[in-house]
Structure 1
Amino acid sequence: MTSIFSFFTPKDKAFQPLFEQASSNVLLIAEKLLETVSTKDLDQRRELIKEIERLEHVGDDITHTIFIELSKNFITPFDREDIHSLVSALDDIADYVHATASNIELYNVVVISETMIKLAEILVEMCRDLDKAVRELRSFKNIRVIADACVRINSGENQADYVTNIAIARLFEFEKDAIELIRQKEILQTLEIATDKCEDAANVLESILVKNA
């Protein structure tokens, strides 16, 4: 009987620690990106980019483990589709942060613009709110934390859009080197997509909140 009851018990003990590992890793990878674009030491920048790559692989492993848990467990803490969407969005954030860092190295970008730093700062704040919200899924005791975090994430994405659009417009107006324009534009857009993925994760959290609070 014990084994039967355990089969039908929501696997919060299995899923929630993995959700928190995923969100914590995303915050860490965003913080490493901010360090990457903030340093003028090229050797340190290369080391940080290697660390971002390592953390992206850690995120992939966590995502894979969660999907395995989904396939094994009949009962889940909340809708399977929401779990899949949330974890996929978190994985996408890490992917685009990794892509940003890789492009900085591949394109041999030496001078980092103030806009890149600003976008990285916005991304860190969004990921910090995302991590706070994910941790509240453990009990749903303070749903206001989740709701407020989602509002701030949505606001951050709007700010990132605005900052990116202005920066790209100025690139086309003032940058005379076509190759440099393409480099800068690619990095800015990849960073902005990372903020879009944060908003995607926040939207899933809002859906979970409506269904379970």
Structure 2
Amino acid sequence: MSRVRHREAVFYDYFRQSTKIIVQAAELFDRIVGEWPSSKPLIPQMKELETRHDELTGSVIDELNRSFITPFDRGDIYSLISLLDGIVDGLEGVSARFDIYGVNEMVQSTRQMSGLILQCAHELDTLFEHFENFKRDGVVLEKVKRVSDLEDEGDLVYRRALGEVFSSSADPVHVLKWKSLLDKTEDALDNCKHVTNVVHSVVMKNA
């Protein structure tokens, strides 16, 4: 492998390592939501995954700052790095808040949203397994479309969940608590789509 090729491969390796951690985080989040409140002891594991991903992100940002040659636009690489990190940060933040906010029982729609996040994580993992050949591998754009469809489904679940929260309780603390939790859960799902938006832009700019 040439030196140039090696320096480019570093970034593709990062994306693959990142999505492996994202899948682990999404699986853990889905379990935390599905088994709550007995799953509270799993929350520290989410923090460990978030820390691992932060360390990985720091390493690749250092590499980006040292690199004169990158496989595609430097700004797009930085956007992908930031958005991928945001997915794990978001899942860790919501998991911690379930305990901080004293949640006793999950809103049903939270389980649906966690399932959609898990599906998106697996789609991103497959996407970035193929991403190094994005100029000619059709799987990349197939997964971009699939994540977009899942996020659209998540929007509907999120809106329905908000409606249920506002209509089912007159307690303003309960409403504000769950609005915050649902907002942050949706943010994690949105970040999955934001990642694929950048990927789509990269493919189009380099076609």
Place the TM-score, normalised by the shorter chain, in its bin: over 0.9
Instruction: Assess if the C-alpha contact under 8 Å between 1:23 and 1:127 holds in 2.
Output: yes
Does residue 22 (structure 1) correspond to residue 10 (structure 2)? The answer is: no
| Superposition deviation, residue 9 in structure 1 | 4.3
Q: Give, in angstroms, the shift of residue 188 of structure 1.
A: 1.0
Q: Contact 1:8–1:74 at 8 Å: present in 2 too?
A: no
Provide Cα deviations, 1:106-138, integer angstroms capped at 9, x if missing partner.
011121121000000001111111111111122
Q: What percent identity do the matched residue pairs reach?
A: 28
Unaligned regions of 5+ residues in structure 2, if any?
none
1:89, 1:200 within 8 Å by CA — same for their partners in 2? Answer: yes
The one-letter code matched in structure 2 to 1:156 is: L
**Is 1:31 aligned to 2:27, yes or no?**
yes
Aligned AA (2:69):
I
Residue identity in the other structure for 2:34: S
**Deviating 4+ runs (over 4 angstroms):** 5-10
CA distance in structure 1 between the partners assigned to 2:108 and 2:139 by the alignment: 31
Structure 2 residue 207 is matched with structure 1 residue 207:
no
What is the match of residue 123 of structure 1? Answer: 117
Two-structure CA RMSD over aligned residues (Å): 1.8
CA distance in 2, matches of 1:40, 1:97: 15
Structure 1 residue 146 corresponds to structure 2 residue 140:
yes
Deviation at 1:176, TM superposition (A): 2.3
Once the two structures are superposed, what CA deviation does each residue of 1:12-50 show, in whole Å capped at 9, x if it has no partner?
Answer: 3322211111111112111110000011452xx222211
1:127/1:41 CA distance change after superposition, 3 Å = same
Instruction: Indicate the residue corresponding to 2:46 in structure 1.
Output: 52
Is 1:102 the counterpart of 2:117? The answer is: no
1:184-203 aligned within 5 A: 184-203=178-197
Give how far 1:177 is off. Answer: 2.2
User: What residue number does 1:171 align with?
Assistant: 165
C-alpha contact (below 8 Å) 1:136/1:142 kept by paired residues: no
- What is the alpha-carbon distance in structure 2 between the residues aligned to residue 123 and residue 181 of structure 1? 23
Candidates 60, 64, 77, aligned match of 1:66: 60
- How far apart, in 2, do the equivalents of 1:54 and 1:162 lie? 31
Q: Match of 1:180?
A: 174
Does the CA contact (< 8 Å) of 1:30 and 1:97 recur in 2? Answer: yes
Q: Is residue 37–residue 105 contact of structure 2 (8 Å, CA) maintained in 1?
A: no
Shift of 1:141: 7.1
Distance, in Å, in 2 between the alignment partners of 1:8 and 1:145 is: 25
Offset at residue 73 of structure 1 (A): 1.4
Alignment partner, residue 91 of structure 1: 85
AA at the equivalent of 2:17: Q
Aligned length: 207
